[in-house]
Amino acid sequence: MRQADESYVEMEELLEKSGQFIAEQLGVEDAYITAGCYAALVLASATVMTGSDPDKCAQLPDTTGLKDEIVFQKMQHYGYDRAFTIPGSKLISVGDENGCTAETLNDAIGENTAAVAYLIQPDQGNAVPLAEAVGIAHSHNLPLIADAASQIYPLDYFRRNAQSADLVCFGGKYFNAPHSTGFVCGRKDLIETVRTHGFIGPRPVGRGMKVDRQEIIGLVTAIDIWLSTNHEVRSKEQDGRYAVLAEGLENLDGVSCEVHYQEKSHTLSNLHVAFDTAISGKDAAQVAQELDVGTPRIKVNTHGKETIVISAYTLNAGEEDIIANALRHLLRG
């Protein structure tokens, strides 16, 4: 990123070449780097309404005369699904909180439908499966937009997700790119329209969603590193930090430590520290609060009243010792 700061570039070319690099790495037709996954979803939503028609592109967020409805399963609603509506589109909920059938999803598609949206998660519950939802969208000659923000590990899962729909959106922060970056990948014709709506288009709806050359190179470098990293070694390194934490707490009465592995999470694992509240005199929420206001500040999660959860993913070398010392002081009673 420092090297990128030393030179001026043609931004259009940089976005094109960086997108081609990502596409080659993930086995898709094309990609476009954005100001985070949310921005990717906004640009994708604009794209499915306008296509490549320059007049339609220019009229957003006025959707008069455009197909402006995006169909989305109600049980998949989440805090950021507002992104699908930002360029003027409407989110049409189908099914209920408990699930959706393929027939219900199919019947919800009408003359004003521009696309189907989907939230990719490891466990889809009673939602219509992704592949089936894509098939339903395609049967109506419509694209499917997928939010796969953090679904990047294992690496074959990352690639399968990238290849799973017409437009798939990811957050760069999950593979250690700048927090303010992300990308959308998929069909080349649709990505070309995403570029039109991006911040250097002729009248771009995404003008405020800028990324600079340093961020673009940061994301390209980060995804290159992520896809070439030996994640088994990374997992063992995290285990080593948990071992230090467990050793620092092993002589405390009523305290036990157990590593929990997460099959489809970029963070890989976490450490559950269970303790006897009768001995410590405080529950997990109280321990977490005291860690949070301590010096240095330590952030942990809780699981029930007697367990705190620690992730090594964001720790720097040696910080496990700091956490062990703080916990030893709080849990010894």
pLDDT given for residue 202 in this prediction: 84
pLDDT given for residue 148 in this prediction: 98
pLDDT given for residue 332 in this prediction: 87
pLDDT given for residue 188 in this prediction: 98
Q: Could you report the per-residue pLDDT of 75-96, keeping only the tens digit for each?
A: 999 999 999 999 999 999 999 9
Place of tokens 């320059």: 54
With a cut of 70, list the residues of the chain below it in pLDDT: none
- Residue 8 CB contacts under 8 Å (≥ 6 apart), including other chains: none
Inter-residue contact 300 to 294 (CB < 8 Å):
no
Cβ neighbour number for residue 12 with a 10 Å cutoff: 12
Nearest Cα residue to 137 out of 99, 97, 106, 107: 106
Residue 147 has which token pair? 């939010």
pLDDT given for residue 260 in this prediction: 97
In the beta sheet, which residues pair with residue 257?
273
Distances (CA, A) of 150 to 121, 188, 199, 264: 9, 23, 24, 10
Cβ neighbour number for residue 97 with a 10 Å cutoff: 9
pLDDT given for residue 157 in this prediction: 97
How far apart are alpha carbons 17 and 34 in whole angstroms? 14
pLDDT given for residue 203 in this prediction: 87
Q: Using CA of residue 323, residue 257, residue 240, residue 268, what is the dihedral sign?
A: negative
Query: Hey, what's the torsion of the CAs at 177, 265, 44, 111, to 10 degrees?
Result: 180
Query: What is the number of residues in the chain?
Result: 333
| Whole-structure pTM value | 0.94
Q: Give helix 213-228 / helix 155-162 axis angle, nearest 10°.
A: 130
Domains, the chain: 4-228 (3.40.640.10), 231-331 (3.90.1150.180)
The 3-state DSSP class for residue 327 equals helix
